[in-house]
């Protein structure tokens, strides 16, 4: 539930907050003892003011048992299957994390009607301080697909939150096909606790959610273009965006880190050429953990391809780029020019 309203100086406003009944039922909530609301305010100059959460109690609050976990009861009874037609692939109430003020007390894997999968993580804040949960560097089927903070959620003191990690928008369908990912069988990520000011408390820790060992497939076949310093880079080919609103073309490199340290792979600025023509591209450095796999994406915009005299995706016959490989301390390990054919 939420509300949003404009209030002129010296005036008042009434606003109604609504809640989705099916979502409440999915959380096992069939009676409301209280509602806690965090309120923020913006003035006409867009200066923000945030107030501490306020609690509105109903007559049920006095006798309500706040110790019971209605969400876990609903999951065990597979309420989401009845309400939304989803499939509950797995559920565990095993405590996965208990550090720095936050606890992960249950994990569920949901499959939507279209086959997409999501991990539902139940997180409890037992402290008297506002904390944030942070998920980053997410991998699907052992392939790192996000290289920074993916999702951060605020959890008020004494409260719990259900965080949904939806895998459907973490990797483009064309890249899933390129790496042979038909079903998500394993999700792993880095998890961190952040304080009220978003500073990390303690150290990050890697979490893993196993769905199905049979479905952890990853295709890293292709043309090997680099194999030094315990790092292997494989050219996967030319990939076109699956989205209707994008005409981007991608040159995709699989990166295997066989060293004992995390690495990052990035490009030397303006070093890319296609068919002998220098061309602009969007390349973001990728971080691959020790023993892990990731991919380096060279995104070519449609107008850049046209400026280079190329009209069709099939005309990308040969490309060359200079890559920088660094260790976990950002110290350069190697700089190499690779050719993709």
Q: SS3 breakdown of the chain: % helix, strand, coil, rounded to 5?
A: 15, 45, 45
pLDDT for 214: 82
Number of H helices, E strands in the chain: 5, 25
* CB proximity list for 65: less than 8 A, separation 6 or greater: none
* CB proximity list for 156: less than 8 A, separation 6 or greater: 36, 38, 53, 125, 130
pLDDT at 314 over 70: no
State pLDDT tens for residues 16-59.
988 999 999 999 999 999 999 888 899 888 898 888 888 999 99
pLDDT for 312: 60
pLDDT for 134: 98
pLDDT for 316: 77
pLDDT for 313: 55
State how beta strands 332-340 and 293-300 pair.
unpaired
State pLDDT tens for residues 153-189.
999 999 999 999 999 989 989 999 999 998 899 999 9
Position of tokens 């090997």? 224
pLDDT for 60: 95
pLDDT for 336: 97
């Amino acid at each position: 539930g939420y509300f949003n309203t404009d209030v002129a100086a010296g005036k008042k406003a009434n606003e109604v907050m609504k809640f989705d009944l099916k979502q409440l039922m999915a959380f096992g909530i069939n009676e409301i003892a209280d509602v806690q609301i965090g309120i923020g305010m913006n003035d006409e100059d867009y200066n923000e003011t945030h107030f501490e959460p306020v609690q509105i109690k109903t007559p049920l609050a006095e006798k309500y048992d706040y110790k019971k976990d209605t969400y876990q009861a609903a999951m065990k009874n597979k309420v989401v299957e009845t309400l939304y037609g989803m499939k509950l692939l797995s559920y565990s109430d095993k405590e996965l994390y208990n550090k720095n003020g936050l606890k992960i007390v249950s994990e569920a894997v949901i499959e939507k009607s279209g086959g997409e999968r999501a991990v539902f993580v139940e997180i409890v804040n037992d402290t008297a301080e506002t904390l944030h949960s942070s998920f980053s560097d997410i991998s699907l089927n052992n392939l790192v697909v996000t290289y920074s903070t993916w999702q951060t959620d605020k959890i008020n003191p004494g409260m719990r939150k259900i965080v949904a990690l939806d895998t459907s928008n973490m990797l483009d369908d064309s890249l899933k096909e390129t790496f042979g990912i038909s079903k998500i069988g394993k999700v792993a990520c880095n998890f961190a606790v952040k304080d009220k000011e978003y500073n990390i408390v303690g150290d990050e820790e890697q979490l893993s959610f196993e769905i199905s060992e049979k479905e952890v497939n990853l295709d890293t076949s292709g043309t090997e273009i680099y194999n030094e310093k315990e790092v292997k880079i494989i050219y996967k080919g030319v990939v076109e965006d699956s989205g209707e609103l994008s005409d981007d073309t991608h040159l995709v490199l699989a990166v295997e880190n066989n060293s004992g340290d995390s690495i990052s792979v990035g490009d030397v600025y303006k070093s890319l050429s296609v068919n002998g023509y220098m061309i602009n591209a969007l390349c973001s450095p990728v971080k691959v953990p020790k023993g892990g796999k990731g991919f380096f994406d060279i995104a070519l915009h449609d107008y850049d391809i046209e400026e280079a005299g190329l009209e069709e995706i099939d005309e990308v016959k040969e490309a060359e780029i200079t890559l920088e490989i660094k260790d976990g301390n950002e110290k350069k390990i190697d700089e190499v020019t690779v050719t993709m054919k």
